[in-house]
Structure 1
C-alpha cells in the first residue's frame, strides 16, 4: 500500500494518458471534440509557469549569500550546459557517419519565407524586449529570465534594506509552487485529452517521407536518453545517483512528452531535483535557466537537420571546419530556441544564414524539427535534471577544495 500511495500520482497520470491514447485510436479525428479540455489544462499551466519562474529564480538568487557562491553556481552551470550540448552534438555526428542519411526529399519553392535580420537586431530581440508587459509572455523567456535574475541580484545587493522584498520573493515562490501542485492534480484529465487528440489526428502521419532521418533521430535519441543520462547521473553520484535519477525522472519525462514544452515541465523538474537531493539554491537556478538555455535534444536534431540539407544540396558533412562550425551552431541553437513547442524556427533560420543555404532548405528543416519535437522535448527538459545533479556535485567539490585550501592556509 505504501508503494501505491507513493506513486499514486504517476499511476493516475499514466492511466489518463493510456485512456486518452486508446480513445484517440478508436474515435480518430472525431476525438478533436475534447481538445479544449487539454488546451484549458495547458493554458493554466503556461499561465502559472511565468510567475513561478520569476519567484523561483529571483528568490534563489536573492537569498544566496553575497560573495562567490552565485558566481560559482552560474559558472559551473554554464560549463555543464556547454559540455553536455557539445557531447550530444559530437555523438550525433558519429552516429550520422555510421548510419549515413540518403533521403530523396522534394523541396518547396516558396519564396515568401522571411529572412533573418542582421545580427545586431537578432541579439537585441533575443536578450531584451522594449516594453515591460512583453516580459510576461512565454515567447520571451530568455529576456524574462535575465530580468528575474537581475531582480534577485539587486535584492541580494540591497542587504538589510531588501530583507522584506526577499521575504516576499520567498513567500511568492512557495505560493506559486503550491498553485502548480493544484493545477497538476488535473494532469490525468488534461494530458489524457491532449494525448487523445494527438493520437486521433496527428499520430498516423508521424514519420511521413522523412522516415530515415526521423528513425536515426529517435534511435540515437533514445540511446542517449538512457545511456547518456545514466552516465551523467553516475558521474554526479555513482550507482546511487543513477538509481535516484531514474526513480524521480519518470514524471518529468511524461510531463515533457505530454505538454511538448520544456517550460511547462519546470514544475515537475523542480519537484524531481528536490527528491534527487539537489540543494534548492542550485535547483531553483539551474532548472528555469536550463529550460531556455540547455537543450541536448535540440543539439541532436540540429546536427541531423544539417546533414539532411547538406545531402540535399550536394555538400559534404565531413571536413573539420564544417564539423566545428556545426558544433558551434548547436550551442547557438540551444540558446536561440524557446522552451515551447515548435520554437526552433529561429534556430533553423540561423543554420541557413551561417551556411548560406537557399530558402528551399527551410521547409525540410521545419518539418524534421516539428516531427522530432516529442523526443526532443523529453531530452531538453529532463536533461536539466541530470545537469542539476552534475552542478550540485561539482559545486560541492569546489566548496570542499576551497575548505581544504583555507585549512592549509590556517595551519601555515
Structure 2
C-alpha cells in the first residue's frame, strides 16, 4: 500500500497517457478538439516555472553556511559530483550512438537552429545573458535566469544578519511554489493525456516505437551503470573491499529509493549505510544531504535520452561537437536544478527546450519519458550519493574507514 501511495502520481499519469493514446487511435484527427486542454496544462506549467526555479535555487544557496561552503569537503565533493555526472552523460551519448533512436515522425513545428555553430562568442553571450531585466522572466532565457538566481542566492548567503528577512522570504517562497507545482500537477493526467491523444491521433501510433526504444536504452544502460559503474567507483574508493562494503550496505537505500520514489526520503537510509561503507560521519553529513539535491546520475542519463528522442522527432542530428558539448553542460545544470523540487525533472525538461529552441509541443514527449524512467532514475540518484561519499572520503582522507560497524 505504501508503494502504491508513493507512486500514485505516476500511476495516474500513466493512466491518463494510456487513455489518451486509446482516444487518439480511435478518433484519429478528430481528437484535435482535445488539444486546448493539453495547451492549458502546459501554459500553467510555463507560468509557474520561473518563480519556482528562482526560489528553489536562491533558497538552496542562501541557506548554506558560508564557512562550510568554502571547506575542503565541499570542494572535493563538488569535483566528485561533476565528474560522475559527466561520465554518466557521456557514456549515455555513446550508448545512443551505438543504438540510435530512429524516428520516422517529424513534428510539425520547427525547432531552433541547433546544428549551425555560427559565431561561438555571440552564441555564448546570447545563451548566458540578457540585456534587460524583464527578459529574465521569459522561459526562453532559462540559463541567464538560473545564473541570476545563483548570484542572488550567494548575495543572500553573504549578507549575514542584514539579509535574515530576505532569506526567510526565499525559504517561504520556495515552500509556496512547491505547493503551486503540486496543485498544477494534479491536472497532469488530464492535460498530458489530452496532449498525447492529440499526438497519437495526428502523428500515428508509430510514436510508441520511439518511446519503447528510448526506454529500452535507458533501462538497459541504467542497470549496467548501476551495477558496473557504481562498482567501479567503489573500487576506486576502497578496492575490492570497498566494492563489497558498498553492495553489502546499499540494499536498504536501494529499496527505500524505489519504495518512496524520492532521493530526499532516502537520506536517512543513506546516512545509516554510510559508516559501514567506510564514510566518516563528518563527510556523510555534508555529502549525502547535498547530494540528494545536487547529485543525480539517473537524471543525467535521462536528460541525454530525452534530448536524443526530441532531436530525432525534429529530424535533427545528435552528433556534432557543439551539440554534444551543449548537451553535457545542460545535463549538469538540469541535474542540479531538479534537486529539492517535487516533479523537478520537468524543470530540466524546460531547460532543454529553452537551450535548443524546441517549441512547446516537445514538452509532453520529454515529460512522458521522464515519468516512465522515474523508478530506476530515483535508485541511481539516491544511491549514487553513497558511492560519491565513498569517493570523497578516499580523496580527502586517503582511504575509507578501516572498521566496518555493520553486522556480519
Give the TM-score category using the shorter length: 0.5 to 0.7
Structure 2 residue 168 is matched with structure 1 residue 132: yes
Partner of 2:73: 73
Pick from 146, 153, 178 the counterpart of residue 122 of structure 1. Answer: 146
Partner of 1:345: 346
User: Counterparts in 2 of 1:277-292, with a 5 A limit?
Assistant: 277-292=278-293
Change (3 A) 1:240 1:374: same
Residue pair 1:103, 1:212 contacting (<8 A) in 2 also: no
Change (3 A) 1:273 1:140: farther
Give, in whole Å, the separation in 2 of the partners of 1:240 and 1:282: 20
Give, in whole Å, the separation in 2 of the partners of 1:92 and 1:134: 36
Give, in whole Å, the separation in 2 of the partners of 1:108 and 1:222: 35
TM-score of the two chains, using structure 1 as the length reference: 0.60
Give, in whole Å, the separation in 1 of the partners of 2:358 and 2:281: 44
Change (3 A) 1:119 1:99: closer
Structure 2 residue 300 is matched with structure 1 residue 299: yes
| Cα displacement (A) at 1:342 | 2.3
SS of match in other structure, 2:265: coil
User: Counterparts in 2 of 1:134-213, with a 5 A limit?
Assistant: 134-135=170-171, 210-213=211-214
Residue pair 2:80, 2:392 contacting (<8 A) in 1 also: yes
Residue pair 2:86, 2:332 contacting (<8 A) in 1 also: yes
Give, in whole Å, the separation in 2 of the partners of 1:123 and 1:297: 24
Give, in whole Å, the separation in 1 of the partners of 2:253 and 2:145: 35
Partner of 1:83: 83
| Cα displacement (A) at 1:250 | 0.7
Larger displacement relative to structure 2 (384-393 or 333-342):
333-342
SS of match in other structure, 2:290: helix
Q: Deviations over 1:288-326 (max 9, x none)?
A: 111111111011000000000001111101111111111
The alignment's C-alpha RMSD in Å is 3.5
| Cα displacement (A) at 1:341 | 4.8
Partner of 1:391: 392
Give, in whole Å, the separation in 2 of the partners of 1:330 and 1:241: 29
Structure 2 unmatched ranges of 5 or more: 8-14, 16-59, 110-137, 157-165, 178-206, 401-408
Aligned length: 277
Structure 2 residue 223 is matched with structure 1 residue 218: no
Give, in whole Å, the separation in 1 of the partners of 2:108 and 2:290: 36
TM-score of the two chains, using structure 2 as the length reference: 0.60
SS of match in other structure, 2:369: helix
Q: Deviations over 1:246-282 (max 9, x none)?
A: 0111111111111111111111111111221201111
Larger displacement relative to structure 2 (267-276 or 127-136):
127-136
Q: Deviations over 1:343-401 (max 9, x none)?
A: 111111111111111222111011111111111111011000000000000001399xx
Change (3 A) 1:107 1:274: farther
Change (3 A) 1:137 1:285: farther
Change (3 A) 1:215 1:318: same
Structure 2 residue 309 is matched with structure 1 residue 308: yes
Give, in whole Å, the separation in 2 of the partners of 1:295 and 1:335: 8
Partner of 2:255: 254
Residue pair 2:107, 2:314 contacting (<8 A) in 1 also: no
Partner of 1:237: 238
Change (3 A) 1:379 1:118: closer
Change (3 A) 1:292 1:16: closer
SS of match in other structure, 1:292: helix
Partner of 1:270: 271
Residue pair 1:134, 1:140 contacting (<8 A) in 2 also: no
Partner of 1:372: 373
